[in-house]
Structure formats: structure tokens, C-alpha cells
Amino acid sequence: MSAGSKSAAVVDAAELPALRRRITPVLIAGQILGGLGVATGVALAAVLAQHVSGSEALAGLASTAMVAGTAVLSVPLAALMNARGRRPGLVLAYVIGAIGAGVVVLAAVLGNYPLLLLGLAGFGAASSANLQSRFAAADLAEPERRARAISFVVWATTIGAVLGPNIAAPAGRSAARLGIPETAGPFLWAGGVFLVSAVVIALLLRPDPLLTARALAPAGEDTKEGRSLRAGVRAVRASPPAQLAFTTIAVAHTAMVSIMSMTPVALSHHGAGIELIGLVISGHIAGMYAFSPVMGWLADRLGRLSVIGLAVGLLACAALLAGTAGASHGRTAAGLFLLGLGWSAGLVSGSALLTDSVPGPARAAVQGLSDLTMSAAAGIGGIAAGLIVSRASYGWLNMVGACLLLPLAALAVYRALSRARGGEDATASAGGPAVRKDTPAVVPDPAGSATAAD
């Protein structure tokens, strides 16, 4: 047993409520700082890429590089968490993000575009840490409160996402005094924020939530073989609810990124200024994060599948409104707000269902694979979105986004019908509460984790 496991094993099940109350604020603090750093850098990423490359076309690769970095680093970070726990994985992700930010600043000073893309890919590791933090919140949560635990950490991103773009300008001006291009200043500041995040997690996320959950699992349930990435793939293949959760997270994220990324272009084509575009995107971000606790409460009370259905409905309405808005900026803003709400419903309910649906040992691997899938799909969606708008229109992009929802809707309906035929699941014989038809049967362990039985 590793040193981390030994330190986790001393936690008694009776201490779990106090431990949850202590760990959640640490994760929220890390999420606020991490979100602040990411949002500060992202605010001027495309502008910096255009400045360094001298090409408006190449500027679009800035976001693609960050998304690619998030996707590529998700699996090795998940493997590290599997082996050592959440704390080392999150700390390393923030440190890589800080190094990436430093490389971005260096590339800006040298005017080196390939180096800039490399730095932006490393910068994406911080986004991977922010994504993985929501699963850390679920490690010790009670099954009936798991979605709410995830949603509170997602909600914390609101603060950083709102403050970050507003800090970008003064951060740029302060860096200019050091001889650094003003558009690179936010990355210098973001790198420092990521290092603070790493220190907060390293010092305060103790005991490690994942190691604690494993230490309190029933004897013989947790094995090294069961934690491997291969075991994670097997766990998803064996669990229809996990497959639905996987699809929900990937589709919701891809639809959101694809439509959102081209909305500023569509607005500018219809005469919107920078201030109005910023206001529309701010409303979208509020929809993404501010209402996530509501989505968590609904997912715990009504069931994961019900909120997945809500996500499909919201995303479809968003595509309809934005895609038919034309010169109506108010209609576009309403569509983008609903797009954020739909993303929030899909991410929170899908993440909770994914955690519910696979055995405890395989969870970290499955969660890492899910983040890899959602980031890769969103990266492809972002590239495709630009091509669709350039060759057709923003309306066609929204139609394609709505079509992406059809397989998810079909899978959710099939899952609902399967549950209805199977009747009400209950785990009373295993000492757990009855489970709704639209959530997988789970057997809570003393750590508040669950083993799926589909």
C-alpha cells in the first residue's frame, strides 16, 4: 500500500461528513483560481496568435491548440490520479499549465508562432485540472448528493470566468512595462495564478479524496488491475448507463463549443460591436456555470436521465433561437444563454451518471477517458464550425449542432424504455436506498462511492 493510501486509511467512516465539508471548499478555491487563470489567458489568445503569426486565419488555431492540450493530457493525468490520487494529478496539471503560460510569453517575445502553439497546448492542462476537479468532488459524496457535489465545483468556475476577461487588460498593461507584448501579459499573470492553485491543492487537499474512498471501500473490491485504463474501457463497454453518460458529456460539449465559437463572428456580421458581443458571451458563461447547482439538485431529485432529457431540450431550443436569429441580437443572446444552460445540465447529469455507473476502482480511468473524448470532440467541432460558417452560414451550423443531439436523444429514450421495462431498481437488500428508474442501481460503500449493477 502506498504512503498516500496509508494516510487515507486512517480516516474513519464516521469522519466523512466533516471531511466532505473540509475538502469541498479546497476544491472550490482551486476551481476559482484555475478558472480565473484560464479565462484571463483565453480572453486574448486569438488576438495574441494573430499578432505573432500575422495571419487572421492562423489566429483560430489558438483555441484549437488549447483544446488539444486539454484532450491529450487528460489520459496521462488520469493515469497519475489512478496511481497516486487526485492531489498529485491536479498539482501537476496546474504546474504544466503554468509552464505552458511561460512558454506562451516567451513565444510572444520571440515572435515564434510554433512555440506559441506549443505553449498554448501546455496551457490547456489547467483546463484539464478544472474538469477533473468536479470528479474529485464526487469521490466522497453520498450517491444521492453526488450531482450536487459536482455542480458546486462547476459553479465555482463562474467567478473566474467572469473576472478573468476583465483582468486581462490591466494584466496586459502591467506586463508591457517589463517589455512583454501587452497581449501576452494575461498569460504571465495566469501562470502565477496556476502556481497558486497548485500550492493550495498540494497543501490543503488532505487526505486525498480518491485514496480515502479506496481505503474505505469493502475489502477486495479495489485492485490495481481494476484501475487500469484498459479496465476503464471495459467498464464503459459493460455499462449502458456509462455509455449514455459518455455520449451526453461529449455531445453537449461539442454542440456548445461549436456554436459558441462562431457566434461572435455571426454577431459582427450583423453589426454588433465588441461591447455587445462581450455581453452576449457573458450571458452564455452565466448560463454555463451560474445555474449548475440547480442542475445538480434536479439530477439528484428527479434522476440523471430526466436532466439529460432537459439538456437535449435546452440545446435544441438554443440552436433554434440562435440559428434563426438573423439580425436580432436579443434572440441570439437568448439562444446563447440557453446553450450554456443545456451544457450545464448535460455536464452535471452526465458526470454524475458516469460516476454512478462504473465500479469504484475504474472511475478515475473512465473519467479521464471521458474528458479526453469531450475535449477531442469539441476540438473537431470547433474546426468544423469554422468551415461550415465559411462555406454555408451560421444558421446551418446551428442546424448541424441540433442534428448532433439526435443520437443522444435516441439513446436516452432507449435507456428510459429499458428502465421502464426493467421496473424499479432498489438496493435495500444491500443496505442502500431505492434507486430511480433512470439511474443505475448502486450499492453505496462507506466512503460514499458506489458500485454499479446494471
pLDDT tier at 129, thresholds 50, 70, 90: very high
Report the distance separating Cα 131 and Cα 249, nearest Å. Answer: 12
The answer to whether 61 touches 49, Cβ cutoff 8 Å, is: yes
Report the distance separating Cα 194 and Cα 38, nearest Å. Answer: 9
Report the distance separating Cα 335 and Cα 318, nearest Å. Answer: 4
The answer to whether 347 touches 247, Cβ cutoff 8 Å, is: no
Mean pLDDT value of segment 148-162:
87
The answer to whether 319 touches 398, Cβ cutoff 8 Å, is: yes
Q: What is the DSSP letter of 446?
A: T
Looking only at Cα atoms, what is the longest distance across the chain? Answer: 68
Report the distance separating Cα 103 and Cα 299, nearest Å. Answer: 41
What is the overall mean pLDDT for the chain? 84
Would you tell me how many other CB atoms lie within 10 Å of the CB of residue 427? 18
CA atoms within 13 A on the CB side of 383: 13
Would you tell me how many other CB atoms lie within 10 Å of the CB of residue 434? 10
Instruction: Write the pLDDT tens digit of every residue in 36-74.
Output: 888 887 767 777 888 898 876 677 678 788 888 998 888
pLDDT tier at 11, thresholds 50, 70, 90: low
Report the distance separating Cα 232 and Cα 260, nearest Å. Answer: 31
Report the distance separating Cα 380 and Cα 354, nearest Å. Answer: 23
Residues 6 or more apart in contact with residue 176 via CB below 8 angstroms: 182, 185
Instruction: Write the pLDDT tens digit of every residue in 335-353.
Output: 999 999 999 999 999 999 9
Please state, in angstroms and as integers, the Cα–Cα distance from residue 194 to each residue in 64, 180, 401, following that order. 21, 19, 33
Q: Which helix (H) or strand (E) holds 452?
A: strand 450-453
pLDDT at 60: 66
CA atoms within 13 A on the CB side of 248: 34
> Hunting for cell 502506498 — which residue is that?
2
User: Do β-strands 425-426 and 434-435 pair in parallel, antiparallel, or remain unpaired?
Assistant: antiparallel
Mean pLDDT value of segment 263-272:
85
pLDDT tier at 431, thresholds 50, 70, 90: very low
- Give percent of the chain above pLDDT 90: 47
Q: Which residue has the higher pLDDT, 148 or 423?
A: 148
Q: Cα(first)–Cα(last) distance of the chain, in Å?
A: 31
User: Do β-strands 434-435 and 450-453 pair in parallel, antiparallel, or remain unpaired?
Assistant: unpaired
pLDDT at 163: 79
Mean pLDDT value of segment 387-404:
92
pLDDT at 272: 82
Q: Would you say residue 454 has pLDDT above 90?
A: no
Considering the entire predicted model, what is its pTM? 0.81
Residue 62's nearest CA partner among 189, 186, 194, 180 is 186
Instruction: Write the pLDDT tens digit of every residue in 303-338.
Output: 999 999 999 999 999 999 999 999 899 999 999 999
Q: Would you say residue 9 has pLDDT above 50?
A: no
Would you tell me how many other CB atoms lie within 10 Å of the CB of residue 164? 25
